[in-house]
Amino acid sequence: MFIMYGRKIEISVGIFMMVGIACLVYLSVNLGNVDLFGSDSFYIDARFGSIEGLEVAASVEIAGVPVGKVKRITLEENQALVQMEIKKGTKISDDTIASIRTKGVIGDKFVKLSPGGSDEFLKDKDFLMDTESAISLEELVSKYIFKK
């Protein structure tokens, strides 16, 4: 009888551990934004004079709605080259303006896309020509203080 009871405990603990590991894998994939089965997206690039505070995996939004994320940031010709991963089906006109914005007063930086009126849409690996660099809060404060 003791042997039968011991086997039930071992089986219960084993099942509990398997469920726990499955939950950890699920959370890791969802919280890490890992795409296991190929991406349903396309990439566009934009050059900025300054992206102060923008980080990889930052949100890309149109009208406040997330449509992608920053995939890679590199330095090219003394400018920041930002590669954005955009969800397939999102139509971005070729005269869209990309700007670096802050959520709230001291929040995270994100890329805001402001669509234009063009009928031509960007495709995979295209460039956004119109960009607005990040506004540095420190520079604004120092200009205000030292102008007096």
pLDDT at 121: 92
pLDDT digit of tens for each residue in the chain (148 aa)?
Answer: 455 666 888 899 999 999 999 999 888 877 766 666 656 889 999 999 999 889 999 999 999 999 999 999 999 999 999 999 999 999 999 999 999 998 877 788 999 999 988 899 999 999 999 998 887 777 778 888 887 5
pLDDT at 110: 94
Q: Which residues contact 49 (CB under 8 A, 6 or more apart)?
A: 79, 80, 131, 133
Name beta bridge partners: 80.
Answer: 48, 75
Q: How far is CA 69 from CA 6, 125, 140, in A?
A: 51, 15, 27
Q: How far is CA 38 from CA 11, 34, 41, in A?
A: 36, 10, 9
Angle at 74 between CA 97 and CA 83, to 5 degrees: 45
**Concatenated DSSP letters of 104-129:** TTT--EEEEEE--S-S-B--TTEEE-
Q: What is the DSSP letter of 93?
A: B
**Concatenated DSSP letters of 23-49:** HHHHHHHHHTT--TT---EEEEEEEES
